[in-house]
Amino acid sequence: MKRIGYLRVSTEEQKPDRQIDGLSPLCDELYIECVSAAAQKRPIFEQVMTELKSGDTLVVWDLDRAFRSTLDALTHTKRLQERGIQFQVVTMNIDTSKPMGEFFFTIVAAFAQLERRTISERTKEGLRAAVKRGTVLGRKPKLSKCQTLSAQQKLATKEMSLKEVAAFYGVDPTTISRSIKRLEGSMK
């Protein structure tokens, strides 16, 4: 009978430290995954779900760290219960093996889904507002306009090959090609 901790962060920039600190004293093993909850495949989560045995307990720090939606949470916890596996959400102290715990779990799962969708909606609204105000989204180009023009000229005059120009600017040849295409597209 093991207590298995599942931790998830959405991006490499996010740190699982809070979850590790909270789950380490409670669990025999920890599994950490770095993937969005909305991702089609969550290999670590799937591995944990497969390896859990009757009598084990799946422990997560917070509900949204394990499940994508209310339906996803309810479906997985039902499957766990059918296999004789307990489920614990540390921040909520909910016992899903009892009727009242299952009821509260259902309500909390719905709130978690609402929160996730609200955050997503607000993020999209913020991005649309930023674009409307002229903000360019995405990563800053690796080459400036001046560098791109220079690279274009070096290639046009055959002063350097694409590979040589890329090495000169310390970028991949694909970056040179894309930068030139982007520049040509903006001049039309």
Mean pLDDT of the chain: 88
- 114-134 tens-digit pLDDT: 887 898 899 999 999 999 999
Mean pLDDT confidence for 159-170? 93
**Would residue 179 show up in a list of annotated catalytic residues for this protein?**
no
Query: CA-to-CA distance for 90 and 60, rounded, in angstroms?
Result: 6
Catalytic residue among 10, 69, 150, 177: 10
pLDDT computed for residue 116 by the predictor: 78
pLDDT computed for residue 169 by the predictor: 92
Mean pLDDT confidence for 98-110? 80
Higher-confidence residue of 105 and 50: namely 50
DSSP 35-72: S-TT-S--HHHHHHHHH--TT-EEEESSGGGT-SSHHH
pLDDT computed for residue 188 by the predictor: 64
Query: CA-to-CA distance for 4 and 24, rounded, in angstroms?
Result: 10
Using left for φ > 0, alpha for ψ between -120 and 50, and beta otherwise, residue 20 falls in alpha
Mean pLDDT confidence for 157-181? 93
Share of the chain above pLDDT 70, in %: 98
pTM exceeding 0.85: no
C-beta pairs of 81-84 under 8 Å, 24+ apart in sequence: 83/52, 83/53, 83/54, 84/54, 84/55
- Whether 61 and 8 have beta carbons less than 8 Å apart is answered as no
- 5-32 tens-digit pLDDT: 999 998 878 889 999 999 999 999 999 9
Look at residue 186 and tell me whether its pLDDT is greater than 80: no
